[in-house]
Structure 1
Amino acid sequence: MAALVSNKVDMRSQLQNEILLLQGFRPLNSAAVDLGLGPVKDAFPNASFPLGAVHEFLSPTAENAAVTSGFIAGLLAPLMRSGGTSLWISTSRTLFPPALKNFGIAPDQFIFIDVKREKDALWAMDEALKCGALAAVVGEVHDLSFTASRRLQLAVEQSRATGFVLRRGAGNVGTTACVTRWKITSLASEPIDDLPGVGFPHWQVELLRVRNGRPGAWNLMWERGAFRPVYKLPPFFHEQKKKAG
């Protein structure tokens, strides 16, 4: 009986892996690249962050876009730790390159491409994601159609590069072919010497959609070069929330 149950489990696991491969999910060696996402990684198939895929981040406000850039930098840090190069493509870049040092990334590891039209940004991202020599490509756009997202996903399935689409002030969210969809919100950091807002970055991380995974929400902070769960928010956060309510 035990052997029969074991065989069924093995068959189900094999079928799940075959379906993932057909859908373009080919996780790289997780032992070689650990993004340090802690409890979040259990939301992904095989508890492995999908590298060689396109990830979508929704940022309805300028504040969301700023904190999302920081969160993406945290994801990129392990990928670029060995000296890899990434591209950051935008029509109106607000990222402050020296701030990348807070996440262990040297600013000169990025190549910044500034274009005038979103059409050009998507074209540049599509071409860049075809290059397997890049660690990652980040593109800032407002809108992303299903057709455009499918082109990006097809590009990474060949090159195994990883794409991050930061959608600033997206009006029509719609359906895309991206493997995941996120929303990152800023949380109050732990005060230092009773001074609020000067501690390690805190985020509310919402994984709104993940292909063959389990969406969820977590409170994370960036500390000593890694993401760490926040189990108790500082009193300052509750005070601010009470005033806002």
Structure 2
Amino acid sequence: MLITEKQSLIGQLKKDLLLWQGVGQKSTDTLPMGLGPLEEAFPNGIFPRGAIHEFVSFDRIGGAVSCGFIAGLLGKLMRNGGICIWISCFHTLFPTAVKSFGVEPENIIFVRMVREKDVLWAMEEALKCGGVAAVLAETHQLDFVQSRRLQLAVEKSGVTGFILQHNPKLLGATACAARWKISSMPSQLEDGLPGIGYPSWDVELLKVRNGNPGRWQMTWAAGDFEPVAKVRSVAEEWRKSYANQGMA
């Protein structure tokens, strides 16, 4: 047997194993999320949809930048007019702000719970609705049993779930497909021009089921995710071109 045939067989076996473990993607869910090299960290190089993604933050800034990054992901999931259900006990999100990440605020159903212990129950019920694109819940704690119930729900409906844990007291094992930690970075200026610039994040995948944890620097430029290095390279080329024109 040729080496290429062996490699092909091994690759197919890996895909079969992922399917048997419930990690496989439906044919309609294999479109890339535009995360570039970050996306290669996931099984088969595809962002897991129909799974639960856990985000952790330890201060107000971490919570805010996590919401921004998640909004970018929601923009991809909702690009065909999909609906998102956002469940929380807090009142911290400015709905209009998510529009800059490609999300129409009127396509988000905000559910405000009085008691935090009801947030994950509401999320589980929302995840059972196959007609929504995503469900996001904000809470302070998530345990394995709760995460397993949520994962079972998305395996039936195919809905993608996001949990944002604010100041968790203990980070134990969960059944989530990935655990993310998003930190703020200085914004990247557009082509070297003055101003606020593009929002940027230091993205850590702390855990990835059947994948490879890692760390990346990402920015939201011109309505899409881009590696920070690429944006800096474009800005540097623009500055050099401008300088050369001035010398001509």
Q: Give 3-state SS (helix, strand or coil) of 2:187's partner.
A: coil
* Alignment-derived partner of residue 62 in structure 1: 60
**TM-score scaled by length of structure 2:** 0.87
* Alignment-derived partner of residue 82 in structure 1: 80
Of residues 27, 37, 51, the one that matches 2:25 is 27
**TM-score scaled by length of structure 1:** 0.88
Q: Give 3-state SS (helix, strand or coil) of 2:81's partner.
A: coil
Query: Aligned AA for 1:178?
Result: C
Which 4+ stretches in 1 moved above 6 angstroms? Answer: none
- How many residue pairs align between the two structures? 230
* Alignment-derived partner of residue 147 in structure 1: 145
Query: Aligned AA for 1:46?
Result: N
> Identical aligned pairs, as a percentage?
51
The separation in 2 between residues aligned to 1:126 and 1:39, in whole angstroms, is: 31
Query: Aligned AA for 2:228?
Result: V
Deviation of residue 183 (structure 1)? 0.2
Q: Give 3-state SS (helix, strand or coil) of 2:32's partner.
A: coil
The separation in 2 between residues aligned to 1:219 and 1:41, in whole angstroms, is: 13
* Alignment-derived partner of residue 120 in structure 1: 118
Q: CA RMSD of the aligned region, Å?
A: 1.8
Deviates more, 1:16-25 or 1:147-156: 16-25
Deviation of residue 139 (structure 1)? 0.5
Query: Aligned AA for 2:174?
Result: T
**Residue 146 of structure 1 contacts residue 177 of structure 1 at CA under 8 Å; is this kept in 2?**
yes
Deviation of residue 233 (structure 1)? 9.5
Q: Give 3-state SS (helix, strand or coil) of 1:188's partner.
A: strand
* Alignment-derived partner of residue 241 in structure 1: none
Query: Aligned AA for 1:22?
Result: W
* Alignment-derived partner of residue 97 in structure 1: 95
**Residue 54 of structure 2 contacts residue 164 of structure 2 at CA under 8 Å; is this kept in 1?**
yes
State the Cα deviation string for residues 131-176 of structure 1 (Å, max 9, x = none): 1111000000110010000000000000000000000111101110
**Residue 62 of structure 1 contacts residue 169 of structure 1 at CA under 8 Å; is this kept in 2?**
no
**Residue 58 of structure 1 contacts residue 181 of structure 1 at CA under 8 Å; is this kept in 2?**
yes
**Residue 33 of structure 1 contacts residue 79 of structure 1 at CA under 8 Å; is this kept in 2?**
no
Deviation of residue 26 (structure 1)? 2.2
Q: Which structure is higher in helix share?
A: 2
State the Cα deviation string for residues 74-133 of structure 1 (Å, max 9, x = none): 011111111110100001131110001111111000000010222210000001111111
* Alignment-derived partner of residue 187 in structure 1: 185
Query: Aligned AA for 1:39?
Result: P
